[in-house]
């Protein structure tokens, strides 16, 4: 194997151009009367072939085998290479026009002054010829006094410059005279393929047009030189040649009228191919578009499987999978053809064994049906059960791209099960997602085995489930399983039917826990503390007063309630256990059953919150006011102590900082006490259910709405910014009290006073700044890590290897455990 050691970008020498050239272009004719490329023209087949069937005259390869060969144009007179015009100016200015010697002190270049600041002497230090100032006349000529320096003269001068002077002037990568072209390389035909229009007319690439121009002028100049034409004619032609060669390199030169197509369109020449947003780099290399993909808005559908994705019919009719006809599937495929391109589960194209591709239309589908036989390939619409890849940007982890089974649905959005919102980090406020259709059987098999949603329940980040019930599923699960829920036989059978479980119901009524047991797998045993647990000092286990201790024995729900800790992503203990003990398939089945049972029950019971749920009793209000007064007194006492110098300064802090810390502690105490009180006193309503089960919101949110907001902080400190010595003109200078520095006594429901509102806005702004700055910084940090580590793989022998097989770790992760198949990073207990 040849190892590439380094790549060096250099100028091409005329010799090199000659050596790599397969043909010298001598005529501006392109095609002859038979539409065959003219020998010695810019489409000569010695520069490669693009038409199938024809062989390359240089290497004998067919189209696709031959990658093309360079040609050359020998210029009648040299011209400047416009790309290097600035360097040409440097060499003209700092070397002698007669002897090529360096005019400035070699040792001074690149030291204290930049070269442009070094004085050019009046006479050459080596040949004593007078030195005249060189004037650069935009865009591409140089003048010495009134004399125009021709490229020929410049080239002569550059040839005399010794190599060490070239280096001293900071130039590397060849000789300076190579910047003045005497021979022009002509890129291969594969670089500038012509396209045949449907009318049979040939349309040439812009580069070809430009090359034709160059050859034409070059030949004219050559002829005129031979016949000894007058100087002014030669000069005009030479200038024209310079223009064409310059615009061939870059057609957006300032001060140069761009070369245009016959239609008036600007030609896209070499620089334009690479430059800017539509250039090779940003358009084709960094930004890629793929076929067989679709993008649209997403919306939720709790009734489709976790493994499925709902595809709009219109998209399903556009995306296809190639299928080869065999004796086993030919009848199904024929049915697809008969449906045609405009009906769901139809087909768009048929490819004959000889490679000819035919579009199926209503007019020809019967004809195609007749010739359709084994060996034909049909491009069939994606239909229910096909495997597609589903992706949401930013693709930060492997669960951002998972395989789903297609379910073709009406309307125009992609539909997804709500449990996969977490791995995609998706919501439905207008999010869009992409679908990709794998085209080969291997790709589909790989996607199904490795990327299907159920294969990705366990995140390699923490070895637990990343897919799980969210929001309503949690509240619903809680309402079913909480103490006191009883469902009649009728309701139970209805709910279970919708879930897809149909056991024999012998009792007249069932408790919620009994109902839930029907969807638990047989033999499941779990015990854990649920999210509603109040963390009592001594846990009474299944005899917990709050019914917060979950115990499942042999698939029977004994005690506790379903909440965040049972089925939610990251935490779901029951989900985790089923996935570990029964496998991904069972976990998905369980998840689908829980979510459906929860939604069905919620629809039966009704679930809503109202403003009145943020009401608290007068007694609680009074109590909160008492907390405020109590701690305000303590704050005043602290301020007094501080002013009397009686405060005990904490180590590492100034007295001011000590005071602030203490005051803030007192003020947070108000909120904490209020929060605990509200949690204890509030009667169970839907808002509180959501907070304590972990479905949505928190007790703190409820406290802010119903009770008190408390101290506002910016960067962890009370608010001090604003006017000199005070935050707002409403307060006295030097007032250290709670109110003067952002204590909000109101709650959101009551509404904030103008000053409180102002402080709240300050904190709100900080929150917005934080979230936008922090996500950017941590996002970029993660990106750099991913880029550095992305091609390290775990090899067959469980070692971590880099892309050339070098060992990074002798046992991957030092313990050889795949966290995505582990129990929280620990080995599975089998």
Partner 1 sequence: MKDEEIIDHVLVPKHKILDKKEIETVCKKYGITVKDLPKILKDDPAVKMLGAKPGDVVSIERISSTSGISVYYRTVI
- Buried b / exposed e along 478-505 (16+ C-beta atoms within 10 A): bbbbbeebebeeebbbebbebbeeeeee
Mapping DSSP to helix (H, G, I), strand (E, B) and coil, where does residue 142 land?
strand
Smallest gap, in angstroms, from Cβ of residue 464 to partner 1?
17
Instruction: Single out the residue of 5, 9, 814, 830 in contact with partner 1 (rule: CB under 8 A).
Output: 814
Please list every residue from 683 through 742 that binds partner 1, using CB under 8 A. none
User: Quick check: 378 binds partner 1 (CB under 8 A)?
Assistant: no
Residue 815 binds which of Mg ion, Zn ion, partner 1, none (CB < 5-8 A, kind-dependent): partner 1
Out of 630, 723, 810, 824, the only residue in the binding site for partner 1 (CB under 8 A) is 810
Q: CA torsion, points 318, 322, 327, 330, in degrees to nearest 10?
A: 10
SS3 211: helix
813 binds, among Zn ion, Mg ion, partner 1, none (CB under 5 to 8 A by kind): partner 1
Stretch that binds partner 1, among 215-223, 560-568, 763-771, 813-821 (CB under 8 A): 813-821
Going by the DSSP 8-state scheme, the letter that residue 101 receives in this structure is -
35-55 CB burial, b ≥16 within 10 A, e <16? eebbebbbbbbbbbbbeeeee
H/E stretch holding 272 reads: helix 270-274
C-beta of residue 319 within 8 angstroms of C-beta of residue 435? yes
Indicate the residue among 32 and 802 with the shorter CB distance to partner 1: 802
Beta partners for residue 186, in sequence order:
71
Q: How far apart are the C-alpha atoms of 464 and 461, rounded to whole Å?
A: 8
Q: Are 341 and 317 in contact (CB under 8 A)?
A: yes
Position among 168, 544, 589, 800 found at the interface with Zn ion (CB under 5 A)? 544
Strand partners, 378: 323, 350
Binder of residue 554, out of partner 1, Zn ion, Mg ion, none (CB less than 5 to 8 A by kind): none
* Closer of 119 and 804 to partner 1 (Cβ): 804
Beta carbon nearer to Zn ion, 533 or 678: 533
As to burial, measured by CB atoms within 10 angstroms (0-12 exposed, 13-18 middle, 19+ buried), residue 344 is middle
* Choice from 225, 794, 808, 820 touching partner 1 (CB under 8 A): 808
470: which residues sit within 8 A by CB, 6+ positions away?
Answer: 418, 419, 421, 422, 568, 569, 695
- Check: CB of residue 214 under 8 Å from CB of residue 248: yes
Task: Identify the residue among 815, 818, 821, 824 touching partner 1 (CB under 8 A).
Answer: 815
Q: Which of 186, 350, 548, 738 binds Zn ion (CB under 5 A)?
A: 548
SS3 state of residue 167: helix
Cβ contact 181:40 at 8 Å? no
Beta carbon nearer to Zn ion, 132 or 427:
132
Task: Measure the CA–CA gap between 299 and 30, rounded to whole angstroms.
Answer: 57
Q: Is 222 helix (H, G, I), strand (E, B) or coil?
A: helix
Bond preceding residue 139 cis, omega within 30 of 0: yes
Q: Which residue, 133 or 506, is less far from Zn ion as judged by CB?
A: 133
DSSP string, 580-633: HHH-HHHHHHHHHHHHHHHHHHHHHH-----GGGG---HHHHHHHHHHHHHHHH
Residue of 12, 42, 50, 66 interacting with Zn ion (CB under 5 A): 66
If the CB atoms of residues 391 and 809 are measured against partner 1, the closer one turns out to be 809
Q: What is the DSSP string of 685-747?
A: -HHHHHHHHTSS--HHHHHHHHT--EE-EETTEE---SBTTBSSTTS-TT--STGGGTEE-S-
- Contact positions toward Mg ion, by CB under 5 A? 427, 429, 431
Q: Which does 427 bind (CB under 5 to 8 A by kind): Mg ion, partner 1, Zn ion, none?
A: Mg ion
Place of tokens 């000659």: 18
Q: Among Mg ion, Zn ion, partner 1, none, what does residue 96 contact (CB within 5–8 Å per kind)?
A: Zn ion
Taking the complex as a whole, how short is the minimal distance between the CB of residue 800 and partner 1, in angstroms? 11
Handedness of CA 306, 308, 313, 316 (dihedral sign): positive
CB of 99 to Zn ion, least distance (A): 3
**Which helix (H) or strand (E) element contains residue 186?**
strand 180-186
101 binds, among Mg ion, partner 1, Zn ion, none (CB under 5 to 8 A by kind): Zn ion
Q: Which of residues 391-430 bind partner 1 (CB under 8 A)?
A: none
Please tell me whether residue 551 binds Zn ion under the rule CB under 5 A: no
| Binding site partner of 797, from Zn ion, Mg ion, partner 1, none, Cβ cut-off 5-8 A by kind | partner 1
Query: Of these, 20, 120, 127, 233, which contacts Zn ion (CB under 5 A)?
Result: 127
Q: How far is the CB of 460 from Zn ion (least distance, A)?
A: 32
**Residue of 552, 299, 582 lying closest to 454 (CA atoms):** 582
Contacting Zn ion within 128-147 (CB under 5 A): 129
The binding track of 81-120 with respect to Zn ion, each residue x by CB under 5 A or -, is: ---------------x-xx-x-------------------
| Contact partner at residue 34 from partner 1, Zn ion, Mg ion, none, CB < 5 to 8 Å by partner kind | none
Longest dimension (CA), the chain: 119
**Which of positions 779-798 make contact with partner 1 (CB under 8 A)?**
797
Q: Which two tokens stand for residue 527?
A: 């015990």
Strand partners, 556: 553
Q: Does 811 bind partner 1 (CB under 8 A)?
A: yes
Q: Which is nearer to partner 1, 113 or 826 (CB)?
A: 826
Six token digits for residue 413: 């959005």
Residues binding partner 1: number (CB under 8 A)? 15
| Interacting residue with Zn ion among 21, 45, 58, 272 (CB under 5 A) | 58
570 within 8 A of 466, measured Cβ to Cβ: yes
Return the residue of 807, 818, 824, 828 that touches partner 1, per CB under 8 A. Answer: 807
Size of interface with Zn ion, in residues (CB under 5 A): 17
CB of 577 to partner 1, least distance (A): 23
On whether the CB atoms of residues 300 and 281 are closer than 8 A, the answer is no
Span interacting with partner 1, options 50-58, 59-67, 447-455, 799-807, rule CB under 8 A: 799-807
Find the shortest distance in angstroms from Cβ 4 to partner 1.
18
429 interacts with, out of Mg ion, partner 1, Zn ion, none, CB within 5 to 8 A per kind: Mg ion
Residue 808 contact, options Mg ion, partner 1, Zn ion, none, Cβ 5-8 Å cut-off depending on partner type: partner 1
Is residue 695 at the binding interface for Zn ion, with CB under 5 A as the rule?
no
How far from chain centre, in Å, is Cα 375?
A: 40
Is 95 within 8 Å of 165 (Cβ atoms)? yes
Q: How far is the CB of 806 from partner 1 (least distance, A)?
A: 5
Using CB under 8 A as the binding rule, whether residue 806 contacts partner 1 is answered as: yes
Part in contact with partner 1 (CB under 8 A); list of ranges 142-150, 196-204, 706-714, 802-810? 802-810
Q: Give the shortest CB-808-to-partner 1 separation in angstroms.
A: 7
Measured from the CB atom, is 227 or 804 closer to partner 1? 804
Q: How far is CA 128 from CA 132, 135, 240, 507, 573, in A?
A: 12, 21, 36, 118, 92
- For Mg ion, the closer of residues 151 and 423 by Cβ is 423
x/- string (CB under 5 A) for Zn ion, residues 493-532? Answer: ----------------------------------------
Q: With respect to Mg ion, which residue has the nearer C-beta, 229 or 297?
A: 297
Which residue's entry shows tokens 């047009």?
209
Choose between 528 and 720: whose C-beta lies nearer to Zn ion: 528
Rule CB under 5 A: which residues touch Zn ion? Answer: 56, 58-59, 61, 66, 96, 98-99, 101, 124, 126-127, 129, 533, 536, 544, 548
Residues that bind partner 1 (CB under 8 A): 797, 799, 805-811, 813-817, 825
């Amino acid at each position: 194997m040849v190892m590439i050691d380094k790549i060096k970008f250099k100028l091409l020498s005329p010799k090199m151009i000659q050596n790599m050239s397969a043909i010298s272009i001598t005529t501006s004719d392109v095609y002859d009367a038979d539409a065959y490329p003219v020998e010695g023209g810019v489409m000569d087949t010695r520069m490669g072939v693009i038409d199938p069937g024809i062989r390359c005259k240089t290497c004998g390869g067919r189209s696709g085998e031959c990658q093309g060969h360079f040609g050359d144009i020998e210029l009648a007179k040299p011209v400047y290479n416009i790309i290097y015009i600035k360097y040409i100016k440097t060499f003209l200015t700092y070397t002698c026009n007669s002897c090529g010697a360096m005019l400035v002190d070699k040792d001074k270049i690149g030291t204290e002054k930049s070269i442009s600041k070094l004085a050019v002497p009046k006479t050459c230090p080596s040949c004593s010829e007078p030195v005249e100032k060189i004037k650069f006349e935009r865009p591409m000529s140089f003048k010495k006094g009134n004399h125009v320096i021709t490229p020929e003269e410049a080239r002569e001068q550059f040839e005399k410059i010794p190599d060490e002077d070239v280096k001293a002037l900071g130039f590397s990568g060849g000789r300076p005279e190579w910047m003045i072209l005497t021979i022009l390389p002509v890129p291969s035909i594969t670089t500038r393929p012509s396209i045949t229009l449907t009318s049979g007319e040939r349309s040439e690439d812009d580069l070809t047009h430009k090359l034709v121009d160059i050859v034409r002028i070059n030949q004219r100049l050559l002829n005129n030189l031979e016949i000894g034409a007058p100087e002014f004619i030669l000069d005009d032609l030479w200038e024209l040649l310079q223009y064409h060669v310059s615009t061939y390199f870059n057609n957006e030169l300032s001060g140069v009228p761009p070369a245009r197509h016959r239609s008036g369109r600007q030609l896209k020449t070499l620089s334009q191919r690479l430059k800017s947003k539509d250039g090779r780099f940003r358009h084709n290399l960094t930004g890629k578009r793929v076929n067989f993909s679709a993008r649209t808005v997403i919306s939720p559908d709790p009734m489709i499987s976790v493994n499925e994705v709902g595809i709009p019919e219109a998209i399903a009719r556009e995306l296809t999978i190639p299928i080869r006809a065999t004796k086993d599937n030919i009848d199904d495929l024929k049915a697809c053809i008969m449906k045609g391109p405009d009906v769901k589960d139809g087909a768009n194209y048929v490819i004959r064994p000889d490679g000819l591709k035919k579009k199926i239309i209503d007019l020809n589908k019967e004809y195609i049906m007749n010739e359709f036989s084994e060996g034909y390939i049909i491009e069939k619409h994606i239909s229910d059960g096909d495997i597609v890849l589903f992706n949401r940007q930013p693709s930060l982890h492997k669960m951002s791209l998972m395989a789903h089974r297609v379910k073709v649905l009406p309307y125009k959005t992609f539909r997804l099960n709500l449990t996969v919102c977490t791995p995609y980090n998706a919501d439905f406020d207008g999010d869009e997602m992409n679908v990709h259709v794998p085209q080969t059987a291997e790709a589909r098999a790989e996607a199904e085995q490795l990327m299907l949603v159920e294969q990705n329940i366990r995140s390699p980040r923490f070895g637990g489930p990343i897919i799980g019930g969210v929001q309503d599923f949690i509240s619903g699960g809680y309402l079913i399983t909480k103490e006191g829920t009883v469902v009649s036989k009728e309701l139970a059978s209805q709910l279970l039917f919708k879930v897809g479980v149909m056991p024999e119901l012998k009792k007249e009524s069932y408790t919620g826990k009994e109902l839930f047991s029907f969807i638990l797998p047989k033999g499941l045993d779990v015990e854990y503390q649920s999210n509603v647990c109040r963390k009592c000092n001594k846990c009474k286990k299944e005899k917990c007063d709050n019914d917060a201790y979950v115990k499942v024995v042999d698939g029977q729900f004994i005690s506790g309630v379903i909440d965040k800790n049972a089925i939610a992503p990251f935490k779901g203990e029951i989900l985790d256990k089923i996935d570990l003990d029964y496998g991904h398939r069972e976990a998905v089945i369980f998840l689908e059953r829980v979510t459906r049972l929860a939604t069905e029950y919620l629809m039966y019971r009704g679930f809503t919150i109202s403003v009145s749920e943020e009401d608290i009793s007068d007694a609680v209000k009074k109590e909160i006011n008492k907390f405020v007064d109590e701690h305000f007194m303590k704050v005043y006492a602290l301020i007094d102590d501080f002013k009397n110098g009686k405060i005990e300064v904490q180590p590492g802090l100034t007295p001011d900082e000590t005071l602030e810390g203490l005051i803030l502690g007192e003020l947070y105490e108000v909120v904490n006490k209020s929060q605990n009180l509200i949690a204890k006193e509030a009667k169970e309503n839907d808002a509180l259910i959501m907070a304590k089960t972990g479905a949505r919101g928190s007790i703190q949110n409820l406290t802010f709405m119903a009770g008190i907001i408390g101290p506002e902080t910016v960067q962890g400190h009370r608010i001090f910014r604003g006017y000199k010595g005070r935050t707002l003109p409403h307060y006295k200078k030097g007032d250290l009290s709670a109110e003067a520095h952002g204590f909000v006594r109101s709650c959101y429901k009551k509404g904030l006073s103008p000053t409180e509102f102002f402080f709240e806005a300050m904190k709100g702004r900080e929150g917005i700044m934080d979230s936008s700055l922090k996500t950017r910084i941590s996002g970029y940090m993660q990106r750099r890590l991913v880029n550095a580590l992305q091609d390290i793989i775990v090899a067959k022998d469980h070692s971590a290897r880099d892309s050339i097989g070098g060992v990074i770790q002798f046992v991957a992760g030092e313990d050889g455990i795949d966290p995505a198949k582990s129990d929280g990073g620990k080995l599975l207990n089998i």
